Structures are given as C-alpha cells and as structure tokens.
Amino acid sequence: MATTTDIKKGLCMRYNNDIFKVVEFLHVKPGKGPAFVRTKLKSLTTGKVLENTFPNGRKIDEVRVETHKYQFLYPEGDSFHFMNTEDYNQITLQKVILDAPELLKEGEIVTVIFNADDALPLSVEMPTSVVLEIIHTEPGIKGNTATNATKSATLETGASINVPLFINEGDKIKVDTEKGLYLERVKE
C-alpha cells in the first residue's frame, strides 16, 4: 500500500470504486495545520476529471501497471485501433481513455498502460509533442507578424488550434499534446 508521499503524475490508483490516473498534484505544507496533497484525477473508465485533496500520510490503493508501445492504425467512430510494435497484436480502445485523440495521426507511436492484474488497458500516453501539417488557415498579411497575434488553423487530424500569423497552409508544426498548443514551425 502506498501513501500520499508516493503520489506522482501518471500514478494509477483505486479511489471511490474506480481507477484514477493522477493528472496533476501539489504537495502543500501550510504554515498552520497538517500538510496535504491537492490532486487532479482522471477516471480511466469514464474520462471525467475531478479534484481531490488527500491528507498527508493517507494510504492509497496503487494499481500495478505495465506499459507497451503501440502504433495507432486508424479511427472508427469512437473506437481507435492500435497495433503492438513487438508482437503485432491489435487492440481496439475507446476514445475516452485517450488523452488527446484529436492530435493522434495514423502511424503515431503511443504508450498504452495496462492493469497488471487483469491485463485491461487503462490509458494511452501520447508523446510530449507531435508534428502535424496545417491543412487550412487564413493567409498571413505581410507586416502583421511583429505582434504575438494568432489565428485559427485546422490540422491534418481535424483538430483546430491557434497559430502565429506567419504560419501558412502546408506548413508542418510541432504541437504540445498535453495542452494542445503550438510550439514551433518544423523545417523540412
């Protein structure tokens, strides 16, 4: 059994008859009173995110997990098909256990986290950033690029994000998968 001092990002645990993954956490030591851990937990069955505060030293029921590399093959409605890169077995996962399904393109390698006890997939971790092509955006106007102004752009996966004015259709950009934000333009 683990305690609140073992809480870290990505930890999977049983809480309220469900399995949750720690998305964010903060150890707080106030001037008065006992320390506590403020967390943001994502349900791995429903995808709902809730905030919870645990008193310091409280025991938590950690779920033992295994990770495997999978390649994303294709989407089909709310189902996503993946192939194990080691033994080529295929699995189908629901959209709710994916962190950023709108940024997932075919051929992308992801890490699938499985419950070690019953071999059920719990969540899918995307790479920290992905390179995607802009398929539609308004053209930038010359001389308008000195400010930090942004415009909307549609990516090859169908996702829409804000990009700087100098980005054009056909450009490849790096996108932060955690926040869904533009990072930089990628040169070929």
Read off the pTM. Answer: 0.74
With a pLDDT cut of 90, the percent of the chain lying above it is 32
Round to whole Å and give the CA distance between 63 and 69: 19
User: How high is the pLDDT of residue 90?
Assistant: 92
Annotate the chain with three-state secondary structure.
CEEHHHCCCCCEEEECCEEEEEEEEEEECCCCCCCEEEEEEEECCCCCEEEEEEECCCEEEECCEEEEEEEEEEEECCEEEEEECCCCCEEEEEHHHECCHHHCCCCCEEEEEEECCCCCEEEEECCCEEEEEEEEECCCCCCCCCCCCEEEEEECCCCEEEEECCCCCCCEEEEECCCCEEEEEECC
Name the domain boundary from 46, 62, 78.
62
User: How high is the pLDDT of residue 48?
Assistant: 83
* Domain extent for 139: 129-186
Counting as low any pLDDT under 70, the low residues of the chain are 140-147
- If one counts the domains in the chain, the total is 3
Name the domain boundary from 62, 93, 112.
62
User: How high is the pLDDT of residue 64?
Assistant: 87
pLDDT tens digit string along 56-103? Answer: 889 999 888 888 999 999 999 889 999 999 999 999 988 877 878 888
Round to whole Å and give the CA distance between 124 and 74: 15
| 58 and 70 belong to one structural domain | no
25 alpha carbon, distance to own chain's centre: 16
User: How high is the pLDDT of residue 143?
Assistant: 62
User: How high is the pLDDT of residue 142?
Assistant: 63
- The CATH number of residue 111's host domain is 2.40.50.140
Round to whole Å and give the CA distance between 170 and 187: 12
| 49 and 95 belong to one structural domain | no
The rounded mean pLDDT for the chain is 87
User: How high is the pLDDT of residue 179?
Assistant: 85
